[in-house]
Amino acid sequence: MQADATRDLPGTKQPQVLVVDDDPEITAMLSRYLGGQGLHVRIAADGAQLRAAMQPPDFDVVLLDLGLPDEDGLSLMRELRSAWHGPVIIVSGRGESVERVVGLELGADDYVSKPFDLRELLARIRSVLRRAQPAPSPALRTDGNTLSFDGMRLDIAARQLLGRGGEDINLTGGEFELLQVLLEHPHRVLSRDQLMNAVHGRDSGPFDRSVDMQVGRLRRKVELDPANPRLIKAVRGAGYLFAGKVERG
């Protein structure tokens, strides 16, 4: 018997997956498999259909192929991120590491190369959907509802980051989880594997730069000078640590 992908996800709404891919065999396969796992699958075969689906966006996760016939997938990734901050998994046959890095740099939460294992893809979807839920992960729970640092405040229950002037700073699910685990363990070096497990639920591979890309994006949102970070520090050969003072409340 197949496991229900929604079993460990709170709420009653059936998760909506938008598959952006022009290959009818792949979209049919994903519709059958993911549909059988309790997910509702919609298809956008090109950039125009993606834009139509975003009026307004009513999906929970996007699987984005980079090799679309009409537009560059990375450009669509940039456009998607500018208007929507939910989880995005790039699913592409382009194996070049530079595209993987650029996709993550533009805000993708994960990257799966074609050909892919359906069970692995489902696990990645489950992971990003759990991170998008408005409740703290038990593994990263706090003593209070907020973590304050350097004039900013992370609201755990609302999954919201408030800036130094009280403004709302948009974070992707992965960026939120990364910031939360760093704030939970200030002044402690966390390895890339520890951060990858906290954010993606798996160890990092030898050439996986997902954590580094997310750290770079996160620095641009929380550091006064991202080029010279004083909060999120890299420890050569070891990982990253949060160097600022954290107050729980």
Contact predicate 21/91, CB 8 Å: yes
Domain stop point among 83, 109, 131: 131
What is the predicted pLDDT for the residue at 27? 95
Distance CA 86, CA 171 (A): 9
pLDDT for 1 beyond 50? no
- Between strands 40-44 and 16-20, the pairing is parallel
Same domain, 150 and 63: no
Name the DSSP class of 54.
Answer: B
For range 71-87, the mean pLDDT: 87
How does pLDDT run across 196-233, given as a tens digit for each residue? 877 766 544 444 577 888 899 899 999 999 999 999 99
**Within a 10 A sphere around the Cβ of 106, how many other Cβ atoms?**
20
- Same domain assignment for residues 208 and 188: yes
Task: Tell me: do 228 and 188 sit in the same domain.
Answer: yes
Burial class (CB in 10 A: 0-12, 13-18, 19+), 87: buried
Q: Enter the tokens of residue 81.
A: 């991120």
Mean pLDDT on 90-108: 76
Per the CB < 8 A criterion, the answer to whether 248 and 180 are in contact is no
Q: How confident is the model at residue 71 (pLDDT cuts 50, 70, 90)?
A: confident
pLDDT at 234 > cutoff 70: yes
Residues 94, 98, 104, 109, Cα dihedral to 10°: 30
Q: For residue 100, what is the domain's CATH number?
A: 3.40.50.2300
61-64 and 88-92 beta bridge pairing:
parallel
The answer to whether residue 111 scores a pLDDT higher than 50 is yes
Looking at the fold, whether 184 and 243 belong to one and the same domain comes out as yes
> Containing domain of residue 124, as a range?
16-131
pLDDT at 148 over 60: yes
pLDDT at 96: 61
Same domain, 150 and 84: no
Average pLDDT of every residue of the chain = 83
Q: Identify the bridge partners of residue 239 per DSSP, sorted by sequence position.
A: 235
| 195: in domain | yes
pLDDT at residue number 231: 96
Does a structural domain hold residue 11? no
Tens digits of per-residue pLDDT, 12-36? 478 999 999 999 999 999 999 999 9
